Each structure stands twice: as C-alpha cells, then as structure tokens.
Amino acid sequence: MQLRIDKFLADMGVGTRSEVKQYIRKKQVQLNGSIVAKPEQKVNPETDQITFQGQKVGYVEMEYFMLYKPQNCVSATTDATHKTVLDYINTKKRKDLFPVGRLDIDTEGLLLITNDGKLAHELLSPKKHVEKTYYAKIQGEVTKEDVAYFQHGLDIGEKDLTKPAMLHVITSDTISEIEVTITEGKYHQVKRMFEAVGKKVVYLKRISMGPLQLDETLQPGEYRELTEEEKAALLDTF
Ligand code: URA
C-alpha cells in the first residue's frame, strides 16, 4: 500500500496537510533515515519507517468488515465457551477489532466489525437515532393494532416508552413475517417489544444499520470488507 507522505502524516494527526508540508520543507520528516524532500513522496506505512522531529510515527490502520453473524456465536471479542464474532474474521490485520453493538446469540444478520471507535460511538449513540431494521418471524398473527402500538411506543419495563418503531407486516398467520425499524438499541429490544404485545419472536435477523445493508450474497458466517462507498456513506452520516 502506497500513499503520499503528507497524507499519511496528516491522517496520523501530525498536523493539517499544509502544516505537514511546512514540516517537510523544514526537513523535520525522515523516511527510512533520509530527509524527505517533497510532500508527494510515496510511502508504504506498513513497511517504511517514518519519523517526525525524530519520533517514529506509528501507522494506525482502520479496518471495516460486514459480517453476516450466524446464530450460536456471541457479539464479544472473547468468550470462554462460545465462538465470538471476531473468530469469523480470519483475514483481519488488526488486533483491536470489535463489533459495533450486539446481536443476541440466537440473532443473525448484519454486524459491523471495525477498530474505528469514533464511528462506533456515533452509530451507537442514543442521541443519533440510527435506524436498525430487522426481519423477524413471530409466533401468532401480527395485526394492524400492533403496528399502531409500535408506532406509539411500548412499555418494555424501561423508564420511558420505546421510541416510535415502524412495523411492516409481510404476512400475518400462525407464524407471521415482519420487518421492524427501530432507532434505539436496548437489550433484547425487538423481542421485548413483541412480548409487550403478547407475541414471541421465533427468528430474528438484522438487515440494515444506518446506511449499511446486509449483503444478500453473504451466507451466515461469511463476511467481506466494506466497499469505499459503504465506508463513505457511514462516515457521511455524522
Ligand atoms: N433486538 C433483540 O431482541 N435482539 C437482538 O439481537 C437485536 C435486537
């Protein structure tokens, strides 16, 4: 991977692009022991040694993966008994990846895995109301009244009612199929919302989070890196 040294130093927080250019002009930047003459100089941050004012500038690389979380694994970085979501990401370079939020052990679907703490914070912040859409199978008929209750807000035993949630009934039968969009992320939220209307979730799968959609070509347990467009869309949200 090659990138311009001024971009590399700016990305690593040494200064703005123009400040970095001045440091280069003042001969304060070295590449593998030689003074860097121009900001267009290409570097490989993984193999080159870059110093600013005599101090090594470490490379902090961000990684972003979309995992189709399967059932029977936990949304944690380590676990004594279960497989974790990180165990699926076998091409990761970084050791500091984590899942952005949690899905229950028996919930499937979209999970973002990254080491971008700032993005994770934004996506999970209750103030940002990031939309999460789930597909679910529900025991019992889901009715128009349920749609209205979800829209109004439900008492799931918290201080406040849940925020308005959009419930779309795909089929209503002994086992119903629905999609629901929520803007909060309370523990077991979807399951508890259905419990509040006397129904049980028997299958739950997250299909989107903010601008990110689960890639339909992925199978449970499979993952891929985010595309540049997906990363830009996520970062643009905030
Ligand atoms: N709501 C739930 O009940 N479980 C999940 O895993 C996610 C949302």
Report the Cα 10 to chain-centroid distance in Å.
24
Q: Are 131 and 164 a contacting pair, CB within 8 Å?
A: no
What's the confidence (pLDDT) of residue 94? 65
Ligand 1 center to 116 CA (angstroms): 23
pTM, to two decimals = 0.78
DSSP string, 79-123: -SSSEEGGGG-TT---S--EESS---TT-EEEEEEES-HHHHHHH
What's the confidence (pLDDT) of residue 166? 98
Of the candidates 87, 104, 106, 236, the residue annotated as catalytic is 104
What's the confidence (pLDDT) of residue 46? 86
pLDDT digits (tens, 9 = 90+) for 209-221: 999 999 999 999 9
Closest CA to 113 of 76, 148, 80, 142: 76
Q: Is the pLDDT score of 13 beyond 80? A: no
What's the confidence (pLDDT) of residue 96? 77
Q: Is the pLDDT score of 194 beyond 90? A: yes
Q: Is the pLDDT score of 141 beyond 70? A: yes
Strand locations in 108-174 (E): 108-114, 132-139, 166-171
Average pLDDT, whole number, for the chain? 94
Query: Is 173 part of the annotated catalytic residue set?
Result: no
pLDDT digits (tens, 9 = 90+) for 120-138: 999 999 999 999 999 999 9
Average pLDDT over residues 105-109: 98
What's the confidence (pLDDT) of residue 173? 96
Q: Which domains does the chain have, with CATH numbers?
A: 3-56 (3.10.290.10), 64-126+212-236 (3.30.70.580), 131-209 (3.30.70.1560)
What's the confidence (pLDDT) of residue 93? 66
Ligand 1 center to 63 CA (angstroms): 25
| Of 1 and 166, more confident | 166
Neighbours of 58 (CB within 10 A): 8
SS3 30: strand
- At position 3, the amino acid (one-letter code) is L
What's the confidence (pLDDT) of residue 179? 98
Q: Are 138 and 199 a contacting pair, CB within 8 Å?
A: yes
pLDDT digits (tens, 9 = 90+) for 26-60: 999 999 999 999 999 999 988 999 999 999 988 86
In the structure, which protein residues have their CB atom closer than 6 angstroms to any atom of ligand 1?
103-104, 107, 188-191, 204
